[in-house]
Amino acid sequence: MKRVFNWFALCLLAVLALQLFFVARIAAMAVLAPESTSFQRSEMWRVVTEKGELRWRQEWVPYAHISDHLKRAVIASEDDGFANHDGVDWDALEKAWEKNAKAEQKAAARKPTATAKPNAKPPKVVGGSTITQQLAKNLFLSGERTLVRKGQEFVLTMLLEALLTKERILEIYLNNVEWGEGVFGAEAAAQHYYRKPAAKLSAFEAARLAVMLPRPKYFEKMPNSAYLTGRAGVIVGRMGGAELP
């Protein structure tokens, strides 16, 4: 029994030490830009192993040097309650859960047909993650879907909200999010797609970039997608109501 208790105590201490490490890392981000994220390092390894070379575009720019159009577009597209929530949008999570449950039910009802067609598409998974949750995942976590990882994401989200301002969270997010194969951050995206700095993006250009975020590699190859153009128009219409931190 004592051995079990000691093992449990060691595990608890290890978890606590890990959380203290995250606290220190996040606190430092209040003044220091992160050199890279967990997702970026994973992508670097994937690109190098698959292609034998690394083509990488990323340049950190201060919050003031990123177009307000892009800030509003990303908030309108990804997290319209960003300025006011505490890191988790519970209503959005509930809606995403309901949509995914309905999609799974429809997929189950079509199961006999899908069995006959091996290339049948799986049900689309709708996310309810806020900008802060996305940043927590990209900064520190792997892409695996487990309850433990989701729990750690929640803790990291709370730490980011407690230790950093909303403006700093958005600044770090916009400088590190993926916008294509080896294209990370607002400045790299603006130069890659529009040959201009992030500060000079128009409302429609910013909206197109925001719409790309859930599937950046796909839309990089499909720049003339009707969905991309149409959805960007919708986001432009919502940008006026997007509250900046």
pLDDT, tens digit (0-9, with 9 covering 90-100), for 132-187: 999 999 999 987 788 888 899 999 999 999 999 999 999 999 999 999 999 999 99
Given a contact cutoff of 8 angstroms between Cβ atoms, the answer to whether 192 and 183 are in contact is yes
Maximum pairwise Cα distance, the chain: 66
* CB burial of residue 3 (10 Å; 0-12, 13-18, 19+): exposed
User: Which DSSP string do the residues of 199-234 spell out, in sequence order?
Assistant: GG--HHHHHHHHHHTTSHHHHHH-TT-HHHHHHHHH
Q: Which of 116-130, 207-221, 222-236 has the lowest mean pLDDT?
A: 116-130
User: pTM to 2 decimals?
Assistant: 0.85
- The pLDDT score that the predictor gives to residue 145 is 81
Residue 198's contacts (CB-CB under 8 Å, 6 or more residues apart) are 61, 65, 66, 67, 70, 186, 187, 189, 190
Residue 244's contacts (CB-CB under 8 Å, 6 or more residues apart) are 68, 71, 72, 75, 83
pLDDT band at 116 (very low <50, low <70, confident <90, very high): very low
- The pLDDT score that the predictor gives to residue 115 is 47
Neighbours of 52 (CB within 10 A): 7
Residue 224 tokens read as: 């003339």
